[in-house]
Amino acid sequence: MARLGFIGLGAMGSQIVSRFLDKGHRVIGYNRTRSKAQWLIDKGMEWAESPRAVATSSEYIFAMVTNDAAVHAIADGASGVLAGLGPGKIFIDMSTISPDVSRALAEKVRALGADMVDSPVSGSVITLQQGKLSVMVGGRKETFEKIKPILLDLGPRVTRVGDNGLALAMKIATNLSLAVQMLAFSEGVLLAEKSGIAREVAVDVLTHSAIASPMIQYRGPFVLEQPEQAWFDVSMMQKDMALALGMGRQLDVPLPTAAVSNEMLTSARAMGWTRYDFACVFDVLAAMSGVSTPLTEARKKQ
C-alpha cells in the first residue's frame, strides 16, 4: 500500500482519510485544528506538525482545503508543502479553487522536480461512505496513471478530463448545477405546499420522480430538517458560484440560472444562515412565500 499524506481534515477530507485507512493505506495527516483529527489518529493515522512534514514523509500528498487563500497558506512558506516536495513526489490537490491559481501552483511544483494534479471530487459524505464518489483529474497523463489505482479506492469513476486546471473547471461546472437544482426543487415543493399538499408528501413524490437526481435524492429531505452538520454550507457553495460566474464572464458564457441561485445564497447569508447546508435556499424562498419553516421560526425569535 502507498504511503499517503493528507492536509485538510474537514468534513469530506477526514472521511477520505478514513476510507484510505480502511483500504490499508498508511496515512500521515495534518489539520489546522488537531482536535478535529483525533478520531483519525485513534484509527491509525499518523500526525504531522506541518504541511511540510506531510510532504516530506509521503510519496503522494493530498490536500483538501477551502479556497485559493487556504491553498496558498498550506503550500507557501518554510512550513508549506512546497518546502517538502522533491523529485518523484506527486501533489494531488482536491480543493475547489480557481483553475488559474491551480495552474500557477503546478508550475512551482514542477520546478521542484515533483508533479501536481487538480483532483476535485463530486459527491457527498454519503456517496463516499458507499464507495461511489466520482473523482476528476487534471494533469499529465502519466501522472494520472500513477495515482489512478489510489483514487479508485474512493469510488468506481476516476476520469482524467484534460490538462491542469480542467478538472477544476469541470468541478465548478458541476457545482453550479447543484445550487440551481436545489432552488428549482425548492420552488416545486413550495408550489405544491401552498396548493394544499403536505410538505413531506411533496418531498417524497419529487425525490422519487423524474427530476430526482442523486443530489436531489439525498439533499431533498433537508428542506424538512437541516442536518446537524452542514454537508456543504452556504459560504462554500457561494464561493464556488463566484468561481463559476467569474469563468462565465471570462469565457463569454451566460449563466442566468447560476446568477439567480447565487442571489438566493446571498439572501441566506443576510438571514444569518451562512453555516447551514445550502439547501436552506428553500427556507429563503419559503420566507418570501409566507411559509413557515424551522429556520424561519427560529429567526423570528432572535
Q: What is the CATH classification number for the domain harbouring 202?
A: 1.10.1040.10
Same domain flag for 150 and 55? yes
How many CA atoms lie less than 13 Å away from 208 in the CB half-sphere?
6
Q: Is the dihedral of CA 217, 222, 225, 230 positive or negative?
A: positive
Q: What is the pLDDT of residue 300?
A: 82
Q: What is the pLDDT along the chain (302 residues), one digit of tens a residue?
A: 678 999 999 889 999 999 999 999 999 999 998 888 999 999 999 999 999 999 999 999 999 999 999 999 999 999 999 999 999 999 999 999 999 999 999 999 999 999 999 999 988 778 888 888 899 999 999 999 999 999 999 999 999 999 999 999 999 999 999 999 999 999 999 999 999 999 999 999 999 999 999 889 989 999 999 988 888 999 999 999 999 999 999 999 999 999 999 999 999 999 999 999 999 999 999 999 999 999 998 888 77
Same domain flag for 88 and 185? no
Same domain flag for 118 and 267? no
pLDDT digits (tens, 9 = 90+) for 175-197: 999 999 999 999 999 999 999 99
How would you classify the pairing of strands 115-118 and 26-30?
unpaired
> Which of 163, 196, 216 delimits the end of a domain?
163
Q: What is the pLDDT of residue 81?
A: 97
Q: What is the pLDDT of residue 30?
A: 97
> Which of 163, 197, 229 delimits the end of a domain?
163
From residue 75, alpha-carbon distances to 61, 68, 143 in Å are 11, 11, 20
Q: How far apart are CA 70 and CA 224, in angstroms?
A: 33
Question: Nearest to residue 140, comparing CAs of 170, 100, 98, 107?
Answer: 107
Residue 123, domain extent:
3-163
Provide the β-strand partners of residue 118. Answer: 93, 138
Give the CA angle between residues 170, 171, 176 to the nearest 5°: 100
Same domain flag for 135 and 177? no
Same domain flag for 181 and 146? no
Does pTM surpass 0.85? yes
Q: How far apart are CA 1 and CA 27, in angstroms?
A: 10
Same domain flag for 27 and 11? yes
Q: What is the pLDDT of residue 119?
A: 97
Same domain flag for 122 and 268? no
CATH number at residue 100: 3.40.50.720
How many distinct structural domains can be found in the chain? 2
Same domain flag for 217 and 133? no
119's enclosing H/E stretch is: none
> Which of 129, 163, 197 delimits the end of a domain?
163
Residue in this structure with the C-alpha cell 431533498, named with its chain if needed? 220
